[in-house]
Amino acid sequence: MLEVRNLMVFFENALAINDLSLSVRDGELVGVIGSNSAGKTTLMNSLSGLIIDMRTKEARRGGERINVYGNIMFKGEDITATKPSDRVKKGIVLCRERHPVFPESDVLENLKIAGYLKKRKEVKASIDYVFELFPALSKLKTRKAGFMSGGEQQMLAIGMALVVRPKLLLLDEPLLGLSPMMQEVVMEAVVHLKEDSGITVLLSEQFARPVLPVIDRGYVVENGMLALDGTGEELMDNPEIKSAYFGF
């Protein structure tokens, strides 16, 4: 479904992504594991196309130069230069880090806003599925998003992405700032999402412990470069991963 070939991203003279290649097959749950500043968010912005908007905005205000090299293929089509809005239409949807929601709107309003381009029946069906996936949200329909906990906001942010009906869902650090219990809830929902709906999921995360046991395959990124790859089980059994992410 997705193939990244020799991706390189420069911010001025700083190399954020260095000759990175990866692939995601249809129906897979794939993880990109890495510490802070490893290049995970830059990778997700490149896949979603947000890097194009960032480059345009920086050029307009005379800011830092952003250059992207390599190829991003989606279902056999080169989308490297495709605008983010057109990528969404193709089915690539990004749920960004730190659960961005509309704080002044309640849960139901947030979900409806996310589906503004979809038909009403589709939006209703998607919202019903979100409440099935995250039962806690169904009890908070009229709660303002700004008064929700971090975990509740993360569930809402993922729900908003699902209302768009993605074919490929990109989750950028969905566990950031969450308690271990809430991390488990989110990861269980992601697994159910993949198994029940068939949506392909690529997630980036620095917390390897809750991620590696459930992913089909994973990539470990260090300083913007691919360091290791393999199945979730292979990565869990790797001594380097155990030392770096599990402390033994």
Count the neighbouring beta carbons within 10 Å of the beta carbon of residue 198.
Answer: 10
Is the distance from CB of 93 to CB of 169 less than 8 angstroms? Answer: yes
Residue 248, pLDDT score: 53
What does the pLDDT look like over 150-206, one tens digit per residue?
A: 889 999 999 999 999 999 999 999 998 888 888 998 999 999 888 888 899 999 999
What does the pLDDT look like over 11-62, one tens digit per residue?
A: 988 999 999 999 999 999 999 999 888 999 999 999 999 999 998 888 888 8
Count the neighbouring beta carbons within 10 Å of the beta carbon of residue 80.
Answer: 18
Residue 63, pLDDT score: 77
Residue 172, pLDDT score: 95
What does the pLDDT look like over 105-140, one tens digit per residue?
A: 999 999 999 988 788 888 999 999 999 999 989 999
Residue 243, pLDDT score: 82
Residue 76, pLDDT score: 94
Residue 195, pLDDT score: 86
Burial class (CB in 10 A: 0-12, 13-18, 19+), 87: buried
245 pLDDT band, cuts 50/70/90, is confident
Is the distance from CB of 204 to CB of 175 less than 8 angstroms? Answer: no
Residue 246 pLDDT more than 90?
A: no
Residue 81 pLDDT more than 80?
A: yes
104 pLDDT band, cuts 50/70/90, is very high
Residue 198, pLDDT score: 84
- As given in the structure block, the two tokens for residue 98 are 């730190």
Q: What share of the chain is helix, strand, coil (3-state, %, to 5)?
A: 45, 25, 30
Residue 247, pLDDT score: 58
Task: Name the E strands within the chain.
Answer: 2-11, 14-24, 29-33, 66-74, 77-78, 92-95, 168-172, 200-205, 217-222, 225-231
What is the rounded end-to-end Cα distance, in angstroms, of the chain? 35
